[in-house]
Amino acid sequence: MGWVVAFSTLVPLGLGILLDRQFGTAPLFVLALAPFGIIGGTIGVVRIANRKLDALGAPPQAEANPDSPANGEEDGA
């Protein structure tokens, strides 16, 4: 998660710095692109956290209901 936050924040900031140097508009592009990086990093972290929480909280299919036919047993009744 740390890499997601770092890259999604630093890439737009770096691009903003380069554009500001190119066009001489000191904080304009940095301030314009920073929210995109912050929002992108937040969305990335939330997605990763949700996937990890789903993986930790969901029981394996075979153990969810040991009496179910999906477990490989046929219902002879």
Q: Quick check: 30 and 74 in contact, CB under 8 A?
A: no
SS3 state of residue 60: coil
61 found inside a domain: no
pLDDT tens string 11-69: 999 999 999 999 999 899 999 999 999 999 999 999 999 999 988 887 666 555 556 56
Number of domains in the chain: 1
pTM (2 decimals)? 0.66
76 found inside a domain: no
42 found inside a domain: yes
Four-point Cα dihedral 16, 17, 19, 22, nearest 10: 170
* Measured distance CA(17)–CA(27) in Å, rounded: 8
24 found inside a domain: yes
